[in-house]
Amino acid sequence: MTLMTPAQLAAAVPKAELHMHIEGSLEPELIFALAQRNGLSLPYASVEALRAAYAFIDLQSFLDIYYAGASVLLHEADFHDMAWAYFLRAAADNVVHTEIFFDPQAHTARGVPMDTVIQGLASACARAQAELGVSAALILCFLRHLSEEDAFNTLEAALPYREHFIGIGLDSSEVGHPPSKFSRVFARCRELGFHVVAHAGEEGPPAYIWEALNDLQTERIDHGVRSLEDPALVAELAQRRIPLTVCPLSNLKLCVVDDLKDHPMKRLLDAGLCATVNSDDPAYFGGYMNANFVQTVEALHLTREDVITLARNSFEASFVSDERRAALLALLDNAVA
């Protein structure tokens, strides 16, 4: 791979994806197909009309459409088919390990049982390992616009399936819903042995990242791009090697940055942070892993070394066993040798 451009190398290297909401991988075509299969009508005349509605001005304008899209998911097969479609795309982008967020409250609130959600996703994860050689794990996210009590009830409902998920995350509308709102339920999740992560510093201030670290004791920060506004926070993240799961095309589509050329990824790397590239909600934001990686490399003129660092960071930041991590890093070393 020595003759490749940095962008070509970015596409070719093995990597992990650590920040992808499975409901955000629902392509408009699949939304329409599932609606038809389930006898539901959609408030959009066509796939094109739905896609045309994907003009977001901020996180909330996206979330409204994201939850509406997810409402076509009713049966175990729907969750399985959605995840399987993502795994095929991820494998094509040389993703060899992925940690997938899911939002059970978006489904249980509509009357879909927890069992349906988790069994459908878990069977797709097992199939990805068996048929594609992609290792996959699930991270259950609490919706932060709902109450901590609702999060506790969701945790309770999911515990019979705990063998199927490795961690707990926090997503949905950030501003006005600081991490500290969920301190008690995250303490319980840590006590139960789950990995813990949280979205912070996407639209919210650096203070929310401090709260994720101090109140929730998260092992990674999802997004975290606003950390650069606080030098003491950058020093803390660097010193503790807290990974940031950054999503460049998401930041562009949700107007966190005006242009990919202004994206903070290069500054995060230059500050010595363990930043990674991820797709967030690839069906809504214009691309999967390699679209994010390649466009970021090109817009910011990232080097071959930056690309290798980002791929290496993705494995360092993942929640795999030491043995699997060593195998993944060896795969990367071989690919770039």
Residues in contact with Zn ion by the rule CB under 5 A: 280
Is 99 among the residues that bind ligand HPA (CB under 6 A)?
A: no
Window 55-94: residues binding ligand HPA (CB under 6 A): 59, 66
When CB distances are held under 5 to 8 angstroms depending on the partner's kind, the choice from Zn ion, ligand HPA, none that residue 76 binds is none
Strands 135-143 and 95-102: parallel
Q: Tell the smallest beta-carbon distance from residue 30 to ligand HPA (Å).
A: 17
The residue with tokens 């993240």 is 237
When CB distances are held under 5 to 8 angstroms depending on the partner's kind, the choice from Zn ion, ligand HPA, none that residue 161 binds is none
Nearest CB to Zn ion, comparing residues 74 and 212? 212
Q: Tell the smallest beta-carbon distance from residue 87 to Zn ion (Å).
A: 18
Nearest CB to ligand HPA, comparing residues 105 and 250? 250
Window 194-223: residues binding ligand HPA (CB under 6 A): 199, 202
b or e along 110-129 (b: 16 or more beta carbons within 10 Å of the residue's beta carbon)? eebebebbbbbbbbbbebbe
Is 24 among the residues that bind ligand HPA (CB under 6 A)?
A: yes
When CB distances are held under 5 to 8 angstroms depending on the partner's kind, the choice from ligand HPA, Zn ion, none that residue 44 binds is none
Q: Which residue is nearest to ligand HPA (CB)?
A: 171
Q: Tell the smallest beta-carbon distance from residue 315 to Zn ion (Å).
A: 20
CA 212/CA 217 separation, integer angstroms: 6
Q: Which of 78, 99, 171, 211 is in the footprint of ligand HPA by CB under 6 A?
A: 171
Q: How many CB atoms lie within 10 A of CB 88?
A: 12
CA 209/CA 216 separation, integer angstroms: 10
CA 42/CA 81 separation, integer angstroms: 19
**Cβ distance 121 to 138 under 8 Å?**
yes
When CB distances are held under 5 to 8 angstroms depending on the partner's kind, the choice from ligand HPA, Zn ion, none that residue 105 binds is none
For residue 101, what are its two tokens?
A: 């967020």
When CB distances are held under 5 to 8 angstroms depending on the partner's kind, the choice from Zn ion, ligand HPA, none that residue 24 binds is ligand HPA
CA 76/CA 249 separation, integer angstroms: 30
Look up 203 and say whether it is catalytic. Answer: no
Window 227-256: residues binding ligand HPA (CB under 6 A): 250
Nearest CB to Zn ion, comparing residues 42 and 273? 273
Q: Given 27, 174, 202, 203, which residue is catalytic?
A: 202
Q: Tell the smallest beta-carbon distance from residue 247 to ligand HPA (Å).
A: 7
When CB distances are held under 5 to 8 angstroms depending on the partner's kind, the choice from ligand HPA, Zn ion, none that residue 202 binds is ligand HPA
CA 168/CA 248 separation, integer angstroms: 23
b or e along 250-278 (b: 16 or more beta carbons within 10 Å of the residue's beta carbon)? bbbbbebbeebeebbbbebbebebbbbbb
297, containing H or E segment: helix 289-300
Q: Tell the smallest beta-carbon distance from residue 262 to ligand HPA (Å).
A: 19
For residue 50, what are its two tokens?
A: 């739905």
Nearest Cα neighbor of 86 from 170, 23, 167, 169 is 23
Q: Which of 34, 281, 291, 308 is in the footprint of ligand HPA by CB under 6 A?
A: 281
The residue with tokens 């791979």 is 1
Is 172 among the residues that bind ligand HPA (CB under 6 A)?
A: yes
Q: How many CB atoms lie within 10 A of CB 140?
A: 27
Is 181 among the residues that bind ligand HPA (CB under 6 A)?
A: no
CA 102/CA 83 separation, integer angstroms: 10
CA 204/CA 6 separation, integer angstroms: 32
Q: Which of 6, 10, 18, 21 is in the footprint of ligand HPA by CB under 6 A?
A: 21
Is 276 among the residues that bind ligand HPA (CB under 6 A)?
A: no
Residues acting as catalytic residues? 202
Please give the residue ranges that form the binding site for ligand HPA (CB under 6 A): 21, 24, 59, 66, 171-172, 199, 202, 250, 280-281
